[in-house]
Amino acid sequence: MALLDCSHAAHLYDHSPSGDGLGLRTDADEGVHAGVTEDMELVLFIGIQATGKSSFYRERFFGTHVRVNLDMLKTRRRESLLVAACLEGKTSFVVDNTNVTCEDRARYIPAAKANGFTIRGYFFQSRVVDALARNAQREGKARVPDIAIHGARGRLELPAMAEGFDSLQFVQLAGCNQFTVEEWKNAV
């Protein structure tokens, strides 16, 4: 299982003949890693299942941020290894999980803040009826049990700036899989 899309990790490898022989770049090679922006970001998605989070990632962040997704990684250990690699490598990343509780979000925010990352939250409109309809269109492992959607909605805690976010956005999935994004109005 590939844990990291190679296009996101390409900046870590030195393909030049003058490299260190191991193929890995160090900070001393160029002062900073190629491809690392000064704006390192942790993007946290927040919302129940089937609200468009993974589609939003593909549309908005695929080319710029590593995707951390527990459904793909299968274990918290693997997830924490990938998050640690992103933090150490100063690589922007998106946590594409439900992150429905403040406790879920606290798993990522303090470490990212301590490493100089900007923290951006995207809350996905979480109406159960809409999520159930979208989930019903999924096939195979992509479809989650309806009870999981109801359970996530029952645990959902609205995000707040006080959690450590630098910005919060509200995302709605409109017709034809188009997203509308606006500033979070309930941010405190």
**pTM score, two decimals?**
0.78
pLDDT per residue over 89-141, tens digit each? 999 999 999 999 999 999 999 999 999 999 999 999 999 999 999 999 999 88
* Summary mean pLDDT of the chain: 82
pLDDT score for 186: 67
SS3 of 117, please? coil
Give the whole-angstrom CA distance, residue 50 versus residue 131. Answer: 5
Provide the 3-class DSSP secondary structure of residue 185. coil
Domains of the chain, start order = 39-183 (3.40.50.300)
Q: Which of 92-106, 118-132, 144-158, 169-183 has the lowest mean pLDDT?
A: 169-183
- Please report which confidence band the pLDDT of residue 175 belongs to, taking 50, 70 and 90 as the band edges: confident
How many Å apart are CA 129 and CA 150, to the nearest integer? Answer: 10
Mean pLDDT of 170-175: 88
Run of H or E including 68: strand 66-68
**Contact status, residue 98 vs residue 157, Cβ threshold 8 Å:** no
